[in-house]
């Protein structure tokens, strides 16, 4: 085994089995933190995961978990799914067995109000036999967990359940086997069996709710195909995905999923990335373009060079981000953990005081014991342990469905307090791609003719400027003339023949190199340059030399939802600001169109970060929204960084929230999601504390039987998870129709 000093610090994830309550969470965290080299360990009850940061071997972490009395579950997808299915079947099987055995015991008690004293009761030995099956067979996991907890000197839900039900069971056996004068001989087998069964019911419903909460991850995991077609030396071979290596050439046929992240080598097609990025329109892929594993190929056959797969693919990173967010703890969870750590010892003291108070004060040992049992049962802190992680799991899952990836629980918690949102301009509030703004003919040509000729020539190019020209020509209803002999000149433009005319279109530098006189459009060019526009020229080769036909200016168009996004934020009382490194005139125009009063242009990356820091120093809670490497310092400096999904990996890595669609309306949706999640956390914590504190008081006063206490305890856990699952009800992207 490696020494801790020899290993790099890393973040590792373990799936933990056998946890039942917040006490289990504290115990596993304590065991993991005791491993040499571990800097931090966070365990999530709802997702049954542990996230460990430090320089230590995985085997040491697994040993610590096992020594603490818990299991390390399979990580490999198929094995994990099989193990999860077996655990689910086992959980349901135990519940069904317990229900079958408990029903004959509980039925007479349920019929008593209707039949009075004529209720038929099972013989005592039948009651004992059925209760023993429930207590020691179907409830064996509680004894195992309690014994491990006692050995390690910690208190868990298992300890409370075992103490409470064993006391009721033992008292029943004693009254049955040792009847005497003054002993009424009451049997409470149905109470112990029903408590075990109700706890199993609650755990089964919790497990079902957890399965629903992690469906977003399960769905994403299914996007990765299990095989890939690899092209070798003159042959193609279908191999398991695990056998593919970076640099391998993968063949992706029409309609297939991309098995790896890679770069297109040959072919042209479209990729449906909607399931990964949320982008509804297919994206055209040419040689040199990146592709994402899990996306669906369109009508063309592509050869793709593998750049990343497995744990390093974009899909895997997205899944890991969601899992880390679901497994992380919000700061408010630390308070619940601290309370849970001392909760079990306090409950044991209250139960003992209840027993002694009723026994010594009223001379009734049996009532005192039953009330103490009720205290132990209703005090099980599973609802307290689930309150925060259940809401975080559901919140991050809903976010993933809406196209909002939340990197950690702290980002989710802080976002609801944001009062200032700072936008970058290019690629965030604007499309980040050119739009044909104006075109002007030279003296010899008409404007319509210039547009028709330019569109014909650009139909043979895939350049973003060409696409902008074609969109306008189509919108204007212009005829599409045939073009021939098209050649793209990298860094300059495109040339070709339209009819008998030899045309070329491109940069001012190319025009100057070709001897084209641009003076006819000098005034327009100066104005366009002053507005920060990109300028392109159309010219024709004639026997007398190259002649200018027209000029075109391209600007960045506002995103369709930009105005609605700013309006939605301002209606929430959020201050909106704009920071951009672009030309002042361009930034001013965008700010005026969107109604943003606070804007700054020509801002360098470090100046963006400094501006965000100043706002924070003035007491604002700032969210920065950007998409580029130049936005990364500001994203890191903000209280919450939000990266647009179409942006760079650096920006997405720096941000706490990633908006998978390039839709600024998702910013308001993210704030609403955070606010709802925070509200659910507070509601859950209130109900968990309310159930425990009020329930303990009622039980100690003799107002709750163990059976009712068990039902209330199970209901408290289920209600907490159910309340969390309601978080996404009616929630949809603000951009939805």
Q: Give per-residue pLDDT as tens, 397-433.
A: 888 888 888 776 677 778 888 999 999 887 788 877 7
State the pLDDT at residue 313.
Answer: 74
For the chain, give the percent of residues with pLDDT over 90: 11
Residue-wise DSSP of 73-137: EP-SHHHHHHHHHHHHHHHHHHHHHHHHHHHHHHHHHHHHHHHGGG-----HHHHHHHHHIIIII
Distance CA(352)–CA(346), nearest Å, equals: 10
- Give the pLDDT confidence of 38-68 residue by residue, as tens digits: 888 888 776 677 888 888 888 889 889 888 8
Among 128-132, 210-214, 366-370, 478-482, the least confident range = 210-214
Q: CATH top-level class for 431-557?
A: alpha beta
- Give the pLDDT confidence of 647-675 residue by residue, as tens digits: 545 445 556 788 888 889 999 999 998 88
- Give the pLDDT confidence of 175-206 residue by residue, as tens digits: 787 665 544 456 767 777 877 887 777 677 66
Q: Does domain 227-312 have CATH number 2.70.150.10?
A: yes
State the pLDDT at residue 4.
Answer: 45
Distances (CA, A) of 328 to 5, 189, 208, 325, 411: 26, 41, 21, 5, 10
For the question of residue 424 being annotated catalytic, the response is yes
Contacts 24+ apart (CB under 8 A), 72-75: 72/14, 72/15, 72/16, 72/17, 73/15, 73/16, 73/17, 73/48, 74/15, 75/13, 75/14, 75/15
- Give the pLDDT confidence of 540-592 residue by residue, as tens digits: 998 888 899 999 988 777 888 899 999 999 999 999 999 887 767 778 888 88
Distances (CA, A) of 371 to 192, 348, 670: 13, 13, 47
22: number of CA atoms within 13 Å, CB side? 28
State the pLDDT at residue 78.
Answer: 56
Task: Enumerate residues 6+ apart whose C-beta is below 8 A from 267.
Answer: 285, 287, 300, 301, 302, 303
pLDDT band at 331 (very low <50, low <70, confident <90, very high): low
Distance CA(424)–CA(83), nearest Å, equals: 46
User: Once rounded to an integer, what is the mean pLDDT over residues 275-290?
Assistant: 66
Q: In the predicted model, is pLDDT for residue 260 greater than 50?
A: yes
Q: In the predicted model, is pLDDT for residue 208 greater than 60?
A: yes
Distance CA(3)–CA(57), nearest Å, equals: 8
**One CATH from 1.20.1730.10, 3.40.50.720, 3.30.360.10, 3.40.50.1000 for 406-429+560-660:** 3.40.50.1000
User: Once rounded to an integer, what is the mean pLDDT over residues 225-231?
Assistant: 86
Q: In the predicted model, is pLDDT for residue 722 greater than 70?
A: yes
pLDDT band at 352 (very low <50, low <70, confident <90, very high): confident
Q: Which residue has the higher pLDDT, 339 or 412?
A: 412
Distance CA(371)–CA(705), nearest Å, equals: 7
pLDDT band at 737 (very low <50, low <70, confident <90, very high): very low
State the pLDDT at residue 467.
Answer: 82
Distances (CA, A) of 589 to 437, 560, 607: 14, 16, 21
Active-site residue (options: 158, 272, 424, 556): 424
Q: Which residue has the higher pLDDT, 175 or 308?
A: 308
- Give the pLDDT confidence of 588-641 residue by residue, as tens digits: 888 888 999 999 887 776 788 888 889 988 999 999 988 755 566 777 788 888
Domain boundaries, the chain: 90-216+322-394+678-728, 227-312, 406-429+560-660, 431-557
pTM for the structure as a whole: 0.56
């Amino acid at each position: 085994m490696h020494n801790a000093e020899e290993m790099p610090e890393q973040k590792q994830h373990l799936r933990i089995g056998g946890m039942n309550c917040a006490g289990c969470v504290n115990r596993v965290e304590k065991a993991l933190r005791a491993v040499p080299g571990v800097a931090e360990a966070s365990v999530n009850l709802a997702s049954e995961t542990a996230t460990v940061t430090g320089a230590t071997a995985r085997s040491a972490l697994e040993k610590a978990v096992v020594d603490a009395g818990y299991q390390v579950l399979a990580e490999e997808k198929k094995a994990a799914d099989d193990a999860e299915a077996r655990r689910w079947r086992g959980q349901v099987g135990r519940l069904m067995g317990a229900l079958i055995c408990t029903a004959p015991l509980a039925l007479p008690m349920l019929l008593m109000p209707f039949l009075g004293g004529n209720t038929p009761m099972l013989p005592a030995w039948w009651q004992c036999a059925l209760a023993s099956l429930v207590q020691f067979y179907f409830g064996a996991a509680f004894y195992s967990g309690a014994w491990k907890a006692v050995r390690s000197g910690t208190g868990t839900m298992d300890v409370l359940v075992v103490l409470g039900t064993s006391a009721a069971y033992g008292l029943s056996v004693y009254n049955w086997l040792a009847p005497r004068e003054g002993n009424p001989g009451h049997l409470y087998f149905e109470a112990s069996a029903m408590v075990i069964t109700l706890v199993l019911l609650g755990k089964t419903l919790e497990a079902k709710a957890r399965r629903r909460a992690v469906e977003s991850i399960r769905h994403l995991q299914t996007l990765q195909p299990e095989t890939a077609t690899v092209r070798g030396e003159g042959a193609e071979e279908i191999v398991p995905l695990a056998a593919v290596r970076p640099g391998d050439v993968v063949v992706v046929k029409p309609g297939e999923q991309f098995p790896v992240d890679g770069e297109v080598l040959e072919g042209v097609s479209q990729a449906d990335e909607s399931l990964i990025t949320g982008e509804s329109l297919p994206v055209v892929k040419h040689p040199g373009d990146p592709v994402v594993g899990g996306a669906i190929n369109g009508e063309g056959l592509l050869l793709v060079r593998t750049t990343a797969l497995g744990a390093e693919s974009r899909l895997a990173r997205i899944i890991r981000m969601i899992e880390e967010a679901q497994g992380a703890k919000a700061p408010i969870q630390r308070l619940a953990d601290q309370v849970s750590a001392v909760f079990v010892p306090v409950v044991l003291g209250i139960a003992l005081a209840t027993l002694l108070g009723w026994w010594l004060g009223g001379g009734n040992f049996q009532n005192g014991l039953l009330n103490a049992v009720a205290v132990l049962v209703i005090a099980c802190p599973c609802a307290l342990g689930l309150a925060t992680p259940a809401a975080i799991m559901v919140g991050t899952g809903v976010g993933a469905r809406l196209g909002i990836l939340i990197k950690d629980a702290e980002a989710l918690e802080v976002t609801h307090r944001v009062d200032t949102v700072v936008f970058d301009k290019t690629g965030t509030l604007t499309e980040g791609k050119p739009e044909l703004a104006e075109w002007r003919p030279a003296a010899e040509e008409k404007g319509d003719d210039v547009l028709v000729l330019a569109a014909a020539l650009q139909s043979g190019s895939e350049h973003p400027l060409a696409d902008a020209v074609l969109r306008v020509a189509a919108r204007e209803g212009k005829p599409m003339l045939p073009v021939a002999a098209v050649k793209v000149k990298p860094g300059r433009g495109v040339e070709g023949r339209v009819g008998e005319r030899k045309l070329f279109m491109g940069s001012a530098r190319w025009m100057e190199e070709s001897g084209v006189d641009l003076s006819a459009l000098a005034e327009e060019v100066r104005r366009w340059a002053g507005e920060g526009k990109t300028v392109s020229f159309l010219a024709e080769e004639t026997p007398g030399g190259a002649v200018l036909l027209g000029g075109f200016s391209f600007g960045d168009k506002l995103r369709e939802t930009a105005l609605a996004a700013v309006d939605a934020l301002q209606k929430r009382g959020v201050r909106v600001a704009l920071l951009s490194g672009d030309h002042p005139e361009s930034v001013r125009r965008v700010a005026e169109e969107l109604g943003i009063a606070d804007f700054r242009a020509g801002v360098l990356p470090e100046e963006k970060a400094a501006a965000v820091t100043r706002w924070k120093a003035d007491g604002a809670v700032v969210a920065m929204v950007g998409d580029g490497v130049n936005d990364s310092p500001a994203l890191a400096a903000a209280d919450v960084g939000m990266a647009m999904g179409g942006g760079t990996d650096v920006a997405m890595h720096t941000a706490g929230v990633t908006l998978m669609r390039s839709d600024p309306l998702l910013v308001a949706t993210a704030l609403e999601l955070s606010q709802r999640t925070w509200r659910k956390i507070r509601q859950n914590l209130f109900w968990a504390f309310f159930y425990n504190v009020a329930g303990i008081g009622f039980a100690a006063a003799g107002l709750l039987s163990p059976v009712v206490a068990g039902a209330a305890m199970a209901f408290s856990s289920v209600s907490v998870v159910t309340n969390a699952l309601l978080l996404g009800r009616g929630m949809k992207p603000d951009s939805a129709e």
